[in-house]
Amino acid sequence: MSRVVIIGSGIAGLFAALRLDKAGHEVIIITKQRPEDSSTNWAQGGIAGILDKTDGEGMAAHINDTLACGDGVCDEEVVRCVVEEAGDRIRDLLSIGVDFEKDGTEFHLVKEGGHSTRRILHAKDATGAEIERALTNAVDSSDNISLRPHTLGVDLIQRTHGNPEDGIKGIWCLDLGTGNMNAISADAVLIATGGCGLLWERTTNPSVASGDGLAMAVRAGAASKDMAYFQFHPTALMAGNDKPFLITEALRGEGGVLLDNEGLIKYRAGHEQPEKYSFTLKSSHHGSLATRDVVARACDQRMKVTGADNVWLVTDHLDKTKLHNHFPNIESKLNEYGLSLGVDPLPVAPAAHYMVGGLSVDIDGKVLMENGNEIPGLYGIGEVACTGMHGANRLASNSLLEAVVFANRAADHFIARPNNNLEDVPSWRAEGMTKLEEHAPLVRDLETLRKTMTDDVGIVRNFSRLQRAKRMLELLSIEVDLIWTKSLPSRELVELRNLILVATHITEDAIRRTENRGLHYNKDLI
């Protein structure tokens, strides 16, 4: 029996664990909070896919929509692979117990920005939570899968120190309950840690999204790819809530429209369909249902021109009962702030949402080095990985699909070529290190980092701002490294170290770009 350590407990990690378990392998899942604190659990919209494998026209349309959204950067082979495997993987989720919404005997499908038709399965407006529930229940019933919550992966252990070509043999991790550093040996490590939305002051991501998996893989010799492409979701609630709350794109798919203050006044006075007054029409004839890069930039530009803190999402022209039935999670959250679907204009603004770039991986999820060779025993799946599926801009609701397809492919790759050579792994060396007593510098550095990324590496960029961010990141890296070399690891220190490294890769990739594509928009390149 081989042992695989999986870092992360979202859809990618849990699905891969079940696949490996079915093949008879031991699986250890580590996650730094609870399983339900993953980004998967926060996903509202759904999972895009064509269930009928004979529907060639439907799959071709899904492929074309994905390629168009990716703005010429997608790997077409990967896109075809994911779309063609969608039906099988969605049926796997159904067999595990995921309960997607139905309209009679048929699945209720929704449409989101960039999609030419309704092809998105959902569980009302809490699809991720439903998938997480079913997968977690299945994992809990397995004897070969052990789940270790409150365990933070710190660094990968190489078979030969300093030589990624020899592969990975384990991981050092921090027990957040005891503060102890533990070493776990593994025949393979599968990274499924999600993204890094915490780099920005406003994000829809959970508090675990600090880029840990990407950073530890890079330190072990992995290459990153397309890091300049980071997706901002156009519609996060801005109603005095401390943390942005995502308003799913499916609401615009049902007819919700974005307006600025002027458009809202005209709509209320004119009694016509609100889309006529949407500022988004100046950016795309698709208006409020254009792709996320276009809509987010339009919102950002409008807010900067008018000085407003938000734009408005209006739904009062839609069927109120239908909205409440399809979006109960959103309605409940809105009610906390005295708002209601089908009645009130909703204050929204863009927020950091999804890391489209990530670890460079091949079509089986194997992590690659800069020279294109794989790091033996290391896989990356889900948001942490850049597979080529999303190109320069992720099409809505393709992320859960990509995650489950690549989880299956990575697991199958290991199952077909299993290692069974567990090696002894060294203990974490802590001689001369002391417990960090003063956390104030870390707090200040994190605030500086997030403000730098928000101001200088946001939706709209320019070279002078990017260079400023690079200089600030270099200074932060030096200061945090000084603390790191003298201190025992803590969650705050590990996360800050990782965030700075990931921010550096995003910024440097943005500086290297010579054209605007998808999510990367530099005013100096217009």
Known catalytic residue at 159: no
pTM comes to 0.94
> Using CA of residue 189, residue 194, residue 200, residue 206, what is the dihedral sign?
negative
Strands 109-110 and 145-148: unpaired
* Structure tokens, 367: 């992590």
Q: What is the pLDDT of residue 56?
A: 94
Helix or strand (DSSP H, E) at 347: strand 346-355
Domains identified in the chain and CATH numbers = 3-229+356-416 (3.50.50.60), 238-350 (3.90.700.10), 428-520 (1.20.58.100)
The torsion of the CA quartet 305, 309, 313, 314, rounded to 10 degrees, works out to -90
Q: What is the pLDDT of residue 511?
A: 98
Name the active-site residue from 292, 297, 465, 513.
292
- Backbone phi and psi for residue 64, each to the nearest 5 degrees, phi listed first: -65, -40
Q: Contact 10/36 with Cβ under 8 angstroms?
A: no
Q: What is the pLDDT of residue 432?
A: 67
Q: Contact 195/503 with Cβ under 8 angstroms?
A: no
Q: What is the pLDDT of residue 41?
A: 59
Beta bridge mates, 203: 352
Q: Contact 154/176 with Cβ under 8 angstroms?
A: no
526 residues of the chain, pLDDT tens digit each: 799 999 999 999 999 999 999 999 999 999 998 766 666 656 667 999 999 989 999 999 999 999 999 999 999 999 999 999 999 999 999 999 999 999 889 999 999 889 999 999 999 878 888 999 999 999 999 999 999 999 999 999 999 999 999 999 999 999 999 999 999 999 999 999 999 999 999 999 988 999 999 999 999 999 999 999 999 999 999 998 888 899 988 899 899 999 999 999 999 998 788 999 999 999 999 999 998 899 999 999 999 999 999 999 999 999 999 999 889 989 999 999 999 999 999 999 999 999 999 999 999 999 999 999 999 999 999 999 999 999 999 998 999 999 999 999 999 999 999 887 788 898 888 766 777 766 778 999 999 999 999 999 999 999 999 999 999 999 999 999 999 999 999 999 999 999 999 999 999 999 999 999 999 999 999 8
DSSP state, 413? H
